[in-house]
Amino acid sequence: MKFPPFLIPGDHVAIVSPAGFINEKIVERGAEILRAQGFIVKIGLHACGKEGVFAGSDPDRSADMQKALDDKSIKAVFFSRGGYGSIRTHANLNWSSFFKKPKWLIGFSDITVFHSYLSNHTIASVHGVMTAWFQQDNELTDSFIEMLALLRGEKLQYNLAPHPLNRLGEVSGTLIGGNLSILQSLRGTPLDVDPKGKILFIEDIDEHHYHIDRMMLNLKTGGVLKNLSGLIVGYFTAITDGEAPFEKSSEEIIKEAVSDYGYPVLFGFPAGHELPNKPLLLGGNISLKVTSEQVTVNML
């Protein structure tokens, strides 16, 4: 696994918008916050653009990201938001310069497209907050502070209360994953994750319960769940029934999908489309210990 250089004060970083459009004030405030942390910030030319649901046209969004990937002075790329569009942006990118000198890519949700691509090329990235969640009520969020700590090379340990649906056990391995809907949409493509021996993290938002069931059965019948060594389940936010009640929660659906396997499963990890959104080092080695008294997740 390749780790980009950890960040230090004075490093150049970029903010780009590869997917949905975003309010310019949020981007500018995000840049101010990063500058206050000692970074020199470059905002993509089209980061605040708009074309339909996207932050500008496919060529414009791709050009911004390509420039950030190729610029040797930039040490990290912070994505402004998710939404939809990263797969369209990815289709236009040339990663050859990036592979010679990797840099940190940071985001979640639709950004899972890039996380999956980098995992398949054994390059670490960070599942973490984007510009709108750098601060809340004029205070830096703990999620942002912890994310910067991770990017600076600090070891993070999360100690969590047990969840009634957890499956006990202890495992170490490479962490992969992100948004479940995006992961499922990448099945059968070159961006599909390699699950063998990995610990998978999943989260989602604004889906129906039967959609969650369908996606989990896709992962099961496709052999993904069978080949894992562990599973971490984050927030499943605003999940609703369709025309008829499904009569199972998202967590119960997931538990059923992995019931044939014996690896540890952690429910209720605080990451996804809510705060706190704890940073996760995708592509990095983590240790997961799930007991009846406590859950411990160590990174780096």
DSSP 117-131: HHHHTTB-EEE---G
Q: Which domains does the chain have, with CATH numbers?
A: 12-154 (3.40.50.10740), 157-299 (3.50.30.60)
C-alpha to C-alpha distance for 276 and 142, rounded to whole angstroms: 7
In this prediction, residue 58 has a pLDDT band, given cuts at 50, 70 and 90, of: very high
C-alpha to C-alpha distance for 188 and 208, rounded to whole angstroms: 23
pLDDT in tens, 211-248: 999 999 999 999 999 999 999 999 999 999 988 899 99
- Which sign does the torsion angle of CA 268, 82, 108, 195 carry? positive
C-alpha to C-alpha distance for 275 and 290, rounded to whole angstroms: 23
C-alpha to C-alpha distance for 159 and 298, rounded to whole angstroms: 9
Alpha-helix residue ranges (DSSP H) falling in the chain: 24-36, 58-70, 86-90, 96-100, 112-120, 142-151, 180-185, 209-221, 224-227, 250-257
Contacting residues for 230 by C-beta, under 8 A, at least 6 apart: 169, 171, 173, 199, 200, 263, 264, 265, 266, 288
Burial label for 90, CB within 10 Å (0-12, 13-18, 19+), is middle
The pLDDT score that the predictor gives to residue 230 is: 98
3-state secondary structure of 93: coil
The pLDDT score that the predictor gives to residue 242 is: 87
Q: Does residue 128 have a pLDDT over 90?
A: yes
- Which residue, among 169, 164, 231, 170, has the nearest Cα to 195 in the 3D structure? 231
In this prediction, residue 203 has a pLDDT band, given cuts at 50, 70 and 90, of: very high
The Cα-based distances of 215 to 123, 186, 212, 261 in angstroms read: 26, 11, 5, 17
Query: pTM for the full model?
Result: 0.97
Q: Does residue 272 have a pLDDT over 90?
A: yes
177-193 in b/e form (b: 16+ CB < 10 A) is: bbbbbbbbbbeeeebbb
**For tokens 């994505």, what's the residue?**
79
Report the pLDDT averaged over residues 77-86: 98
In this structure, are strands 139-140 and 135-136 parallel, antiparallel, or unpaired? antiparallel
In this prediction, residue 1 has a pLDDT band, given cuts at 50, 70 and 90, of: confident
C-alpha to C-alpha distance for 136 and 34, rounded to whole angstroms: 15
**Cross-sheet strand order for the sheet of 104-107:** 40-43, 12-16, 74-79, 104-107, 125-127, 280-282
